[in-house]
Structure 1
Amino acid sequence: MLNYQEDQAEINQELKSDRQEKLNLLLFLSGKTISLFGSAIYAFVIGLYLLRTTSSAFSFALNLALYTLPVVLFNPIAGVMADKFNKKILVVGSDLINGLFLFLIYLVITNFNFNLYILYLSTFVMTTLTVFFDIALEAAKPGLVKESGLVKINSQARVIESLSQILGPLLGGLIYGFINLEGFILINAISFLISALIEYYIDYQYNQQIQMETGSNKDSDDFVYRLKEGFYYIFRSENLRALVYIFVALNFFFNFTLIVPLPYLLNTVWKIDPNNYGIIQAAFPVGMILGAILTEKIMNKISYNLLIKNITFVAAVGVTTFALPIIIFQNTPASNFVLTYYSLLMFLSGISVAWIDVPANVIIQKSVPQNILGRVLSVKMSIIKIVVPISLLISSLTIKLLEVEYVIFVGALIFFVFNIIFFNSSTGRKFIQQKADQKNL
């Protein structure tokens, strides 16, 4: 009888544990969905608003740069804080403060004179808080579900991220003409507050494990020491160092040749319909989803290091196709042609980016020890993203001097020359010779 009661108690405990895990997953995905969709719509609308009202590539690029600067400045700090402090406070607090801040911006805009600098400030503060939110939530995942549920929570989170990138521009383009800017800011503020409320009820210690401290050096508890560890690890590894060089060049190239010139061409020069612009923007994450699905098959046929070399050379030449309609057509092309042609190019670009990003993350996760992985990932991201605001601002200034098609050609030429120099250098040759572990990707 006693054994039966003990067995029944264990079964009840397991059922309760399973219910909590499912609840954690539901709350996690719900909060992330609301927060991401609100931010995706807001980001699209702000960019479109700046292009339509100012007709300035510089204003558009400056706003994009302000989305990137916090990642560069605060990502390593957020990584250390996520390891040291209560993740629930960081996650819930970031969304709560974001919601209250945007509500304050809404009140300022509706009651006082509007100023573009208010938009720039809101972009910077919102993105800064999002950096701490993202890193803390990523670090919290192992505590939300059992180890067997990590694949599920990561894969479903990726789907939500991709869907927000697809549907955000689409929804933003559809309702752009019906809701004013103040309305979009209020919607985003409410989405952050609802997300914070949902995330408050997550059990962040559901699968809490005792973390063993390694080493006896008291500096291991020092904030600066922990911050430096990520940098040291990357630059001591030849393979990681080469990856960083390539990704820095890719980010500069992609932002210089596409992120500013293409929206400027479509919205300021050709003035296409916002709905069509939203569809073109959404084609990129659709390509990323397909690229991620095909990654495993591609990696079974070619090593990652060789794949990245081939993609970089193809991208340097292929990006020139974005400029061909400007040369071929004397006037604005037909709207259906613009929609089909540029959606296809953005779709193919998304596939290429997925084939570079997804395997790189898996390789890093396998090769870097877990106790330093968060800091390595955050430092890598900061180093790579540091060129983004620089490339955006240079691109916007270059557009003032050159026609859009020449900006694209210049970017393609610079990247092609970089590829030739890098892959013929000793670092590049060693990188190509190293075989990535493909079978376990």
Structure 2
Amino acid sequence: MVLEGQKIRKAQRNLYTFLVSKMLTSLGFGVFNFGISLYILSATGSALSFATNIMFNVLPRALAAPLAGYVADRFPKKRIVVMSMAGITLSVAALIVYTLIFGMSVPAIYTITTIFSIIGAFNGVAFSSSIPNLVGKERLQKALSFNQVSYSIGGIGGPAIGGMMFGFVSMKVFLISMMIAYFIALCLEATMDFELFEVRVKKKQESVTQSMKEGFRYLRTKPFVQTLLMTTLWINFFSSAVSVGLVFVLVQKLSIPSSQVGFIEGAGAMGMLIASLYLSLHNDLKNPLTFVRRSSFSMCGMLAFISLPLFLAFNGFYSFIFYMAVMFLFSALSVGANTPMGVVIQRSIDDEYRGRVFGIIETLSVGMGPIGSLIFGTLFDKVDAKVIFLCAGFVLLMLVAWLLMWSKIRVSEKLAHVSD
């Protein structure tokens, strides 16, 4: 009983250390990313240069993730997390030294972005696949909600702090801020027990290629995990319609001032934050997949509702209030859909395969965003925006209804209750 009590206390300490660490890295990267984005635009005046930096942030991560999954399953996860965090911290320090000697340059930014992307893949996959071992399966909902809280705070605080700093301080201050945040996170992560709930199994001696193939074969034996993964990917794909099309509609179609556009996007971040806090404070959902289905259906409705002011010709003030409410609800519902799905996937994957499975998920998730942005960006130039939002909401509704049929949900939730 004493040992069990100590284990629970360690799990709680891991949980809150995880929260603080993720908040620091999200906030540090948010400030850095905002400063870098403004620097590239002000230095080059080129949207292509800005898009190129986004490519260097996305493509290496997507390509490195399967290898990161193999490494996470093959070697101690704590070592990977700590070494990757140390690598990012040292990379920032190297960029500061380079800046002091040669000055900041766009090629240097592309280089450091690529390094961050590759190292971030190893850190992200190792950390994601470690969460059940850090906190136990009973605290997964709270841990994944805390993860969303940290991203929300980074999304709100990064641009806010970065906006206040830009123009008043040099890029070196942005870099130093990020380095300090990552160094503190590194120290915190070094204190975490990554083996607290680990199920020890004998690791097979196999090549990298064989191990990756084994990860794909294992995923094929989990049809419902595949279904949830497909649901997540489709939700993320159609969410690109919002990230690409909303600003286009607000600025080009409704002539809403840029200051109000910022508030509308901020409402989305607040929606994510409040929904994440709700799930972190709430007991584990008894029927998580039913919750996912309802949240996903409601998201489809919000996606279609974006077109409403385009049909009814709202005035500026009513459009502003309407879109703040829609973005708040859409973002909150996305957390309501994605977080319980993440909990179910984490609980369904055996420990020895979790790294490789999350490496596959990372590649697909990271890759889906740019693909969605490219497709919807092209569509918004050629097709009426209200038609796109209506069709996107309807198609996503059909896909979710098919993927999350009641029969599948009932069977899976019965199996979950039996296993508990």
TM-score of the pair, normalised by structure 1: 0.73
Q: Which amino acid aligns with 2:201?
A: M
Q: Deviations over 1:103-160 (max 9, x none)?
A: 3333444554654444343333213212212232344456656888777766655544
State the match for 2:233 in structure 1.
Answer: 248
1:345 to 292, 302, 326: 326
Which runs of 5 or more structure 2 residues have no equivalent in the other structure?
none
Helix, strand or coil: the match of 1:303?
helix
Deviations 1:55-87 (A, max 9, x none): 766555544444433442222222221222233
Q: Is the 8 A contact 2:228 2:345 kept in 1?
A: no
What's the secondary structure of 2:127's corresponding residue? helix
Aligned position for 1:391: 372
Q: How does 1:39-438 map to 2 (within 5 A)?
A: 39-47=29-37, 59-109=49-99, 111-112=101-102, 114-141=104-131, 156-157=146-147, 159-200=149-190, 202=191, 204=193, 207=196, 211-213=200-202, 221-255=206-240, 257-262=241-246, 270-272=257-259, 276=263, 279-280=266-267, 282-289=269-276, 292=279, 303-304=290-291, 306-307=293-294, 310-311=297-298, 313-321=300-308, 324=310, 328=314, 333=316, 338=320, 340-396=321-377, 401=381, 406=384, 409-410=387-388, 412-414=390-392, 416-417=394-395, 419-420=397-398, 422=399, 428=402, 431-435=405-409, 436-437=412-413
Q: Which moved more, 1:120-129 or 1:285-294?
A: 285-294
- Inter-partner Cα distance in structure 1 for 2:49 and 2:26: 24
Partner amino acid, structure 1, of 2:306: V
RMSD in angstroms over aligned alpha carbons?
4.5
Q: Residues 142 and 280 of structure 2 are in contact (CA less than 8 Å); yes or no, is this contact kept in structure 1?
A: no
The answer to whether the 8 A contact 2:80-2:123 is kept is yes
Structure 1 residue 166: deviation in Å?
Answer: 3.5
Task: Write the distance in 2 (CA, Å) between the matches of 1:53 and 1:280.
Answer: 30
Larger radius of gyration: 1
User: Residues 431, 147 of structure 1: CA spacing in aligned structure 2 closer, same or farther, 3 A cutoff?
Assistant: closer
- Residue identity opposite 1:343 in structure 2: M
- Equivalent position of 1:7 in the other structure: none
- Tell me: CA distance 1:325–1:291, structure 2 relative to 1, closer, same or farther (3 Å): farther
Q: Partners in 2 of 1:57 and 1:253 — Cα distance?
A: 24
Give the CA deviation at 1:348: 0.9
Closer, same or farther: CA 306–206 of 1 in aligned 2, 3 Å: closer
- After superposition, the C-alpha distances for 1:323-382 in whole angstroms (9 at most, x for unaligned) are 7499656xxx57x974x5543332111122112112212222333333323332332332
- Residues 186-242 of structure 1 show CA distances to partners (whole Å, capped at 9, x for unaligned) of 321232233324434x2646637572238xxx6x63322332233233344443333
In structure 2, the partner of 1:3 is none
Q: 1:337 to 1:418 in 2, by over 3 A?
A: closer
Provide the secondary structure at the position in 1 that maps to 2:324.
helix
With over 3 angstroms needed to count, the CA separation of the structure-2 counterparts of 1:260 and 1:17, relative to structure 1, is closer
Whether the 8 Å CA contact 2:68–2:122 is kept in 1: the answer is yes
How far apart are residue 35 of structure 1 and its match? 2.1
Q: Structure 1 counterpart of 2:196, which letter?
A: N
Matched residues in 2 for 1:398 and 1:236: separation? 37
- For 2:140 and 2:91, the matched residues in 1 are separated by 33
Q: Secondary structure at the match of 1:94?
A: helix
Q: What is the SS of the residue equivalent to 1:221?
A: coil
Deviation at residue 38 of structure 1 after TM alignment: 0.4
CA–CA distance in structure 2, aligned partners of residues 325 and 272 of structure 1: 24
In structure 2, how many angstroms separate the alpha carbons of the residues matched to 1:149 and 1:297?
A: 8
Q: Is the 8 A contact 1:244 1:384 kept in 2?
A: no
How far apart, CA to CA, are the structure 1 residues paired with 2:198 and 2:175?
Answer: 40
Question: % of aligned pairs identical?
Answer: 23
**Take 2:62 and 2:79, find their aligned partners in 1: how far apart are those partners?**
22
CA contact (8 A) 2:14 2:192 kept: yes
* Deviating more after overlay: 179-188 vs 58-67: 58-67
Judge which range, 307-316 or 37-46, deviates more: 307-316
Confirm or deny: 8 A CA contact 1:100 1:193 kept in the other structure.
no
Aligned partners of 2:109, 2:132: CA distance in 1, in Å? 36
Q: Give the distance between the partners of 1:52 and 1:262, measured in 2 at CA.
A: 24
What letter corresponds to residue 74 of structure 1 in structure 2?
A: A
Task: Please say which of residues 378-387 and 261-270 is displaced more in the overlay.
Answer: 261-270
Q: Which amino acid aligns with 1:259?
A: S
What's the TM-score once normalised by structure 2's chain length?
A: 0.76
Letter in 2 for 1:365: Q
